Amino acid sequence: MAALLWLKEVIILPLMKVILAVCLVMLVFVFIEKVLMGFTSLYVKIFCRKPEKIYKCSPIEEDEELGSLAYPMVLVQIPMYNEKEVYQLSIRAACNIMWPVDRVIIQVLDDSTDPMIKELIYEECNRWLKKGKNIKYERRDNRKGYKAGALKIGMKHDYVQICEYVAMFDADFQPEPDFLIRTIPFLIHNPNLALVQARWKFVNADECMMTRLQEMSMDYHFKVEQESGSTSWGFFGFNGTAGVWRIQAINDAGGWEDRSTVEDMDLAVRATLKGWKFVYVGSIKVKSELPSTFKAYRYQQHRWSCGPAVLFKKLFWEIFLAKKASFLKKFYIFYSFFFARRIVTHFVTFFFFCVLVPLTIFLPEIKIPKWALVYVPTAITLLNAVGTPSSIHLIVFWILFENVMSLHRSKAVIIGLCETGRATEWIVTKKLGDKSKAKTNTASSKKSRVELWDRFYPLELLMGVFLLLCGCYDFKFGNDYFFIFIILQSFTFLVVGFGYVGIRAPRDD
């Protein structure tokens, strides 16, 4: 007994106090970052500082003498990998973009490994070619570098040399016909701009609770994070799709790199360190699809969390040694863009709210300040909710689900910083297109070919049991109301752990 008391007094309590201090500092970092971005976004709305008012973007003027030559040459790239459910949607949308036919090249970069899917995509391209569209079907023998490798090879074809700009769309993205008409003028009239990023609009946001919660997170990302970065610094992370690049800027930054799974972010950082600026135009929206199965969402979040951590390590000195970027912009990229948003946020969400707070129930000597438990988390939650006001009634579900996902994001960040395990693994987010609507709503839907064991997620189940024990202990012996949050969080972990979130992937034909 004396040994246990000694262990508690000498090791456990001091260690917990140090961990608490670190978590509180991280929480302050996150809070300051959220407030600054929130005020910037508010400033944009109050003073109408829209991109259309900051940058010249008058439409391209028709010229009878020049004809179609008045329009610059544009390359439209669509990278694909076994996109059976959505390849027709993206190719059709790209081919329907309003732009002189002789001034646009549509390039389908097919890395598919399934022979049947390769043939289907080839036939679809051929069909549009016969309709008079300038479409190129390009296929590699390997997947070296994944998406970055495909884009890099795609830029090396001879016909690309005559293009000034390149628009990029992932396989599930469907741009409106006027996409180029609205984006290209920003690049034409502002020679210091390298990128025009459009906003994502989700066609399946109402498919299930999980997609509703994703929509809340993504809307905050675009309406606040991207908008504040564009307004304050002329920089933000390229989203990898639904954007138009100046090809000169891509070349100036050194082209595509495949050293991480966030090749889009890599290119964006290198380009801004070369002195280029970006603009986010939220009024231009491109239809896309959210992951509607939990397994697909986990893979996506692993890539989006692990990749930035890997990139942070690789670009650390490159950021500080850049000569064309100001000290303030370099500090912003290092602290705000990488450290606060992509490392600290995940750690403090998981380790503070899901681990430290429950553990303090067994250690009454550890006192957590009320501001850290109530005021700051509430403020951060409300700041996140402004992105999707129509879903504010789901804010509690969103908090609980985000805490669950912080487990995987924290794990992914650690893997990325250590560059171990799946640090550079690229698993394409599976899209269902119209397939989910067609098959999941039928009577009991034909059961998917998902093995029973694949429905269970051990980490979530383990966390759910841990939190349930903590909550029950607090309910029985505690003199606070922590158990309300802890038990709700434990149920969320258990629901996710047993696979009752998202939709079931329909059986393939």
CB 160 within 8 A of CB 241: no
Both tokens of residue 41? 């976004």
The strands making up 277-288's β-sheet, listed across from edge to edge, are 135-139, 104-110, 74-80, 165-168, 243-246, 193-202, 277-288
Kind and range of the H or E element at 199? strand 193-202
315-343 mean pLDDT: 93
Q: What is the pLDDT of residue 105?
A: 97
**198-220: average pLDDT:** 94
Q: How far apart are CA 501 and CA 397, in angstroms?
A: 12
Which amino acid does the sequence have at 237? G
Q: How many Cβ atoms are within 10 Å of 37's Cβ, its own excluded?
A: 23
Least confident of 219-223, 224-228, 504-508: 504-508
Q: Report whether pLDDT(508) > 60.
A: no
Q: What integer pLDDT is reported at residue 434 of this predicted model?
A: 61
Per 3-state DSSP, what percentage of the chain is helix, strand, and coil (rounded to 5)?
60, 10, 30
pLDDT recorded at residue 448 = 45
| Top-confidence residue, 385 or 220 | 220
Cα 314 to Cα 42: distance, rounded to the nearest angstrom? 34
Task: Specify the pairing of strand 135-139 against strand 243-246.
Answer: unpaired
Predicted pLDDT of residue 436 = 54
- pLDDT (tens digit, 9 = 90+) per residue, 414-469? 999 998 877 777 777 777 776 555 544 443 344 444 455 667 899 999 999 999 99
Structure tokens at 295: 């397994």
Report phi then psi at 97, rounded to 5.
Answer: -65, 135
CB atoms < 10 A from the CB of 484, how many? Answer: 12
Tell me the pLDDT tens digit for each residue of 336-395.
Answer: 999 999 999 999 999 999 999 999 999 888 999 999 999 999 999 888 887 778 788 899
Nearest 5 degrees, angle CA 185-CA 80-CA 118? 135
- Whole-angstrom distance, CA of residue 333 vs CA of residue 229: 10
- Amino acid identity of residue 417, one-letter, is L
For residue 359, the model assigns a pLDDT of 93
Percent above pLDDT 90 for the chain: 76
pLDDT computed for residue 446 by the predictor:
44
Within 13 Å, how many C-alpha atoms sit on residue 223's CB side? 17
pTM summary value: 0.91
When pLDDT is averaged across residues 297-301 and rounded to a whole number, the result is 93
Query: What stretches of 261-338 show up as alpha helix (H) in DSSP?
Result: 263-273, 294-321, 327-331
Measured CA to CA, the distance from residue 121 to residue 127 in angstroms comes to: 10
Which pLDDT score is estimated for 257? Answer: 94
The catalytic residue positions are 111, 264
Residue 136 pairs with which residues in a beta bridge? 107
- As a whole number, mean pLDDT of residues 125-149 equals 94
Angle CA 135–138–140, to nearest 5 = 170
Please state, rounded to an integer, the average pLDDT across all residues of the chain.
90
Q: How far apart are CA 167 and CA 76, in angstroms?
A: 5
Residue 217 has pLDDT above 50, yes or no: yes
Report how far residue 147's alpha carbon sits from residue 80's, in angstroms, rounded to the nearest whole number. Answer: 8
Q: Is 240 left (phi over 0), alpha (psi -120 to 50) or beta?
A: left
Q: Quote the CA–CA distance of 245 and 278 in Å, as a whole number.
A: 9
Other CB atoms within 10 Å distance of the CB of residue 25? 11
Bridge partners of 246?
A: 165
| Model confidence pLDDT, tens digit, residues 250-273 | 999 999 999 999 999 999 999 999
